[in-house]
Every structure is written in C-alpha cells, then in structure tokens.
Amino acid sequence: MSKCVFASVTLFVVLLVATACGSATPASTPPTPSVVLPTLVSPVAPTIVPPPVVATPTEIPTKVAYVVTPTREPTRATSTPTAPPKPSAPTGRIAYSVVTGDEPKFFTLWVANANGSNARQILTHALWPTFSPDGKQIAFFGRPEGKPEGLYIANADGGGMTGPHIVGPGVCCMDWSSDGQWIVYTNSPRPKRPGGPIAMVKMDGTFKTIVNLGVDGNGPAFSPDGKQIVFSGCLPNTNTCGLMIVPTSGGAPRMVTTDNGGNADWSPRGDKIVYQASDGAGHIQVFVVNPDGSGKRQLTRGTSNDGQPVWSRDGSAIFWRSDQNGTAWAIYVMNADGSNPRKLIDGTPPHPDLWGWESLSVAP
C-alpha cells in the first residue's frame, strides 16, 4: 500500500514555521508532493541518485533515460461500466502518523479501527506506514535510537521489528503490492526532502532483489494487479508536473494529469485514482481521476487543506486528513463519490514540513 508546483514562495515559508504539535496548522497551501523540492516556483526533475541498500542487489535493470508518453483522449467505452460499490460503513483498520515534536521520539505511528474507534500508538521514531495486504505487518520509515535510518518492518501491533532493509535518511513513501511480494519506495539523498529514484524491493526475507524503475518521483503506489505504479513526477527538463504511471516491468512512463498533484492511491478495482492537488484558490483538495487521465473530479471543497487520501479496502469509501480550516488536524472518511463526509479521529497532527508527502494506509 504504496507505494507540484506552488503559487508562491510565501506558502513554502508558512510551512517552515509551522509547529509540529498540530495545535495551530497552516491555513495556507502546504507543499504538494512533487519531485521538485528545492524550489516551489520553478521545479525541475532532480538528478537520479541510486538509492543505498542494505545488501547488494541482484537485479537492477536501471533505465534512467526515458520518454514520457502524453495521455491521449480515451476511447469511448462500448459497454456500460460496472456500477461503483454502494456506500457502506468502512471496516478494517487505518494506520497514520502523529508528530508532536521535533525529535524522532515524537514521530509516532497509530492504528485505529476504520470507524475511528480504538485508536492506539504502536511505534515511535517512525513515519510513512503501509500495511501488508493481509494486515499482519506494517512497513515504515524508522529512526530508532542507535540504529540506522531506513525502511523497517514490524508486526501490525508494533512488535517484532526488523530492519533497516533499505538504509537512508530519505527513504519514504512506501506502498506494498497486493500480492505481498514487493514494496515500492523512493529514496531521497536529502533528509526532509522526499522524492527521488523510485525502486522496488522484493519481500523474500533477504531484501537483496532491488528493481530500479528508472524514474524519479514521489508517492508511488501499485495498481491492484501489480503491473503499474502511479507516482508524482515531472516531464524531464520541464515544469510540467502531476500524476504519472510507469509499468513495473519497465518502460516509459506516461502523464496522467498536469495539475502538480500527488499522494495518489489506486482504487481496489483499478478504475480510479484518488489524489491531492491544489484547487487553484490556495488550498489542497482531494480529487479522483481515471487512470487514462479522463473524468477528473474534485471531492473536497472549502478552505481546509485536505490530503493524504486512501481508499477503503472495498472501494466504497475514501479516508483523508484535514487541517480543518487551519485549526487542528483530524482524519475523515467520505463515500467514494465524495458524499457524506464525516470526522473519524481528532488530534492527528502530521509532520509540519512533510505532511504533503505523508500518507494513510488501510488493512482488513
């Protein structure tokens, strides 16, 4: 469950001075996930730096040079599409981060029931949780005391932690494939600046098989069939950024949106992608789009910053995190069509500088 251009430099400054406790959250637009991190005005695709690994990879089909295929006008369907699932009360569990201080010990991971009940802390020194498909394990970026920073794996209750399986202060934004065989991630050479080469590591117990997808980006997420990855990226040597899709088997990525959006998550049926992007009025909102770039719709509105969207396991609902008009952070849920939004969990401040790249995760 892996798995952006800003209007002005002033917005970036607001994020830098935001506190981590969540008591006062930014009222203006936070950074939207993008590979372009040093500047918010003129983003460019960063240089690909091979991510460090714990063990020597046995498979690294690196493809640095690539040509992006623009999204074409989709062919009209000749049959009636399958009706979306009816809204229902979401079941399962949701994982999320809570950051209440500058030190890693205040970076905590929490798990709650999908209806918001039984919220409990499971880990400290941790960010970016992603559940395994069966919900029995959780992968995350860890900074344990006395141990290297990187990708760790623990049981869903926080016990039995192992790692780091990928070493690096910039490892982030993981997503677990639906067959449980791979985790996709990015590895930035710059701490607190997510984004960089996107790679997959095989979950075979040795973590030696690394597949570099040859693209640079952020927030990668597997399609349900594991054959594609959606991520936030830019056309090479341009300021055109948004959602992109690359085959896991290798090949050129294609552009899906050009709205500088990111933090995407594929629907369980594979027919929709939910993500966050600017609404053009100074706020981040939740959108949904078809994988071919058609059918884009805005699901949240107003003056809050709403992001980190993720589908429920049955596809009937979407969870997201909101700063509630800059007053305090909370986790919400709505029906897949954007109707019936309701608050689930209060008091969930993310990292003040990294919230635009953080994500939620759901499990059975």
127-179 pLDDT, tens digit per residue, is 999 999 999 999 999 999 999 999 999 999 999 999 999 999 899 999 999 99
Task: Report all structural domains of the chain as residue ranges with CATH numbers, in order of start.
Answer: 9-71+89-363 (2.120.10.30)
> Distance between CA atoms of 192 and 172, rounded to whole angstroms?
10
Query: What are φ and ψ of residue 13, in 5° steps?
Result: -65, -35
Q: What is the CA radius of gyration of the chain?
A: 18
Mean pLDDT of the chain: 81
Q: Is the pLDDT of residue 83 over 80?
A: no
Q: Which residues contact 101 (CB under 8 A, 6 or more apart)?
A: 20, 21
pTM here is: 0.77
Rounded distance, CA 316 to CA 337, Å?
A: 8
Asked whether the predicted pLDDT for residue 70 surpasses 60, the reply is no
Question: To the nearest 10°, the Cα dihedral for 347, 351, 353, 358?
Answer: -100
Q: Taking 60 as the threshold, does the pLDDT of residue 216 lie above it? A: yes
**Residue 233 bridge partners (DSSP):** 242
User: What pLDDT is recorded for position 195?
Assistant: 84
Q: By three-state DSSP, how is residue 314 classified?
A: coil
CA pair distance 226, 99, nearest whole angstrom: 31
266-321 pLDDT tens trace: 999 999 999 999 999 999 999 999 999 999 999 999 999 999 999 999 999 999 99
More confident residue, 44 or 203: 203
Report pLDDT for 86: 52
Local confidence band at 12 (pLDDT 50, 70, 90 cut-offs): very low
Phi and psi at residue 170, in whole multiples of 5°?
-110, 15
| Structure confidence by residue, pLDDT tens digits, 102-124 | 998 999 999 999 999 999 999 99
Residue-level pLDDT at 363: 95
All residues at 6 or more sequence positions from 353 whose CB lies less than 8 Å from its CB, including other chains: 15, 16, 18, 31, 192
